[in-house]
Amino acid sequence: MGSISAVARHCRQKGHKLRVLWLDAHADFNTCELTPSGNLHGMPMAVLCGHGPAELVGLGGFSAQDPALKPKWVRQIGIRSVDPGEKQFVHEQGLEVFDMRFIDEMGMRHAMELALATLDEHTHLHVSFDVDFLDPEIAPGVGTTVPGGPTYREAQLCMEMIADTGRLASLDIMELNPALDVRNKTAMLAVDLVESLFGKSTLMRKN
Ligand SMILES: [Mn+2]
């Protein structure tokens, strides 16, 4: 909530458009009224869109009437765990979600082509990377594992396609928990993926 509020503030001051790519197993679109768990970790996207306690919605000088994000600026990718009330609210608010069903059927490439469409040179691209986006087989070191996430290759393609746009301007990495990791493999994978996100490529491509 804090970092994206700050990014949104920056974009407003500079006159930049903002696109948020939300890589996560969870939509994080619960509100205090909808949440089954009461867990604030499930609410950041709703808060950023103006739905939540005034103290949080107001971070960065925003308000419920003038929130940090509009739903149409957001693309959620890899989603596979959404609570019933939250699901309805996602639809009502018109969030664009490329869930695992979509990725299974259409492929990561097509999902990312759509998620990255219509970026231009005035767009600030923010990536919010919750490590539980990844399949727990390759990334066990997170608090809330959800089976059926992107494979190593799908995650690499996702990061490489973001890098290819040349528009990445800010990044959050969340939920990596070394106490739950297995021989540091999740942390090393996160570094590997962030290298790709920052443009590291194999010899097969010239630049
Ligand atoms: Mn998550």
pLDDT at 203: 62
Note down the domain range covering 158: 2-24+73-197
pLDDT at 204: 64
- Assess if residue 160 is contained within a domain: yes
Order of strands, edge to edge, in the sheet holding 168-174? Answer: 96-99, 74-79, 17-23, 123-130, 168-174
Handedness of CA 108, 112, 115, 118 (dihedral sign): negative
- Assess if residue 188 is contained within a domain: yes
Contact 3, 20 (CB under 8 A): no
Ligand 1 centroid, distance to 190 Cα (angstroms): 15
For the chain, what is the radius of gyration of the CA atoms? 17
Burial class (CB in 10 A: 0-12, 13-18, 19+), 87: middle
- Assess if residue 32 is contained within a domain: no
Ligand 1 centroid, distance to 130 Cα (angstroms): 5
206: confidence class by pLDDT, cuts 50, 70, 90: low
pLDDT digits (tens, 9 = 90+) for 24-61: 999 999 999 999 999 999 999 999 999 999 999 999 99
Q: Is a pLDDT exceeding 70 seen at residue 207?
A: no
- Assess if residue 182 is contained within a domain: yes
| C-alpha dihedral (186, 80, 82, 173), degrees to nearest 10 | 30
Angle, CA 97 vertex, CA 74 and CA 111 arms, to 5°: 95
Ligand 1 centroid, distance to 163 Cα (angstroms): 22
Ligand 1 centroid, distance to 14 Cα (angstroms): 30
Q: How much is the mean pLDDT over the chain?
A: 96
Backbone angles phi and psi of 179, in degrees to 5: -65, -25
pLDDT digits (tens, 9 = 90+) for 155-195: 999 999 999 999 999 999 999 999 999 999 999 999 999 99
| C-alpha dihedral (6, 14, 161, 158), degrees to nearest 10 | 10
Tokens 């509020």 belong to 5
Ligand 1 centroid, distance to 200 Cα (angstroms): 26
Ligand 1 centroid, distance to 24 Cα (angstroms): 5
Ligand 1 centroid, distance to 144 Cα (angstroms): 7
108: confidence class by pLDDT, cuts 50, 70, 90: very high
Bridge partners of 173, per DSSP, are 129
- pTM of the prediction? 0.96
- Assess if residue 68 is contained within a domain: no
- Assess if residue 53 is contained within a domain: no
Domain count of the fold of the chain? 1
- Assess if residue 46 is contained within a domain: no
pLDDT digits (tens, 9 = 90+) for 135-144: 999 999 999 9
Bridge partners of 18, per DSSP, are 124
CATH code of the domain covering residue 144: 3.40.800.10
pLDDT at 201: 82
Residue of 1, 3, 10, 60 whose CA lies nearest to 29: 1
- In whole angstroms, give the CA distance from residue 113 to residue 98: 11
Which tokens belong to 61? 């000088």
87: confidence class by pLDDT, cuts 50, 70, 90: very high
pLDDT digits (tens, 9 = 90+) for 110-161: 999 999 999 999 999 999 999 999 999 999 999 999 999 999 999 999 999 9
